[in-house]
Amino acid sequence: MEISEAGLDLIKRSEGFRAEPYRDVAGYATIGYGHKLRPGEQYDHGITEATAVMLLEQDIKSSEGAVGRLVHVAMTQGQFDALVDFVFNLGPGALANSTLLRDLNNKEYALVGLQLLLWDHGFVAGREQEVYALKERRQAELTLWKGTPIAPEPVAV
């Protein structure tokens, strides 16, 4: 299974495009659409959106692979998209060690939606706290999980 346009749009909207390297909320050096810089990767002069999309596609393949390896039950496209976004955002270890995955592999689909919403905390200034952007992202994942289409962002005219 591969991520759909709805899943890709969620990742792009949640991450936002940044042409210059920056530190994300967790302190990781990042660029483009949430691409964590690997050792030896440097983009001192920034990147184009086309390069960011290429990096995003590579990163998504990794997230898709992790979901494919860890999940042992059938999923809808929306459920797959929600989990790929979850793994893209939090990493495969978060899913691998979660009650969310245990519930899913036990076919407790309704519980998975509730578990998604619990992942809305991050460390800000050294303290764990609810992060509004994560809360919104988890809500968007839940919408995908339930199969409800996410309305596109309004286009300025």
64-73 residue pLDDT tens:
999 999 999 9
Percent of the chain with pLDDT over 90: 82
Whether residue 125 has pLDDT greater than 80: no
CATH class, range 5-146: mainly alpha
Render pLDDT for 6-32 as a digit per residue (tens, 0 to 9).
999 999 999 999 999 999 877 889 999
- Which residues contact residue 140 at a Cβ distance below 8 angstroms, ignoring those fewer than 6 apart? 10, 13, 14, 85, 150
CA distance 151 to 54: 25
Residues serving a catalytic function are 15, 24
Domain residue limits, the chain: 5-146
- Predicted pLDDT at 148: 64
Whole-model pTM: value is 0.90
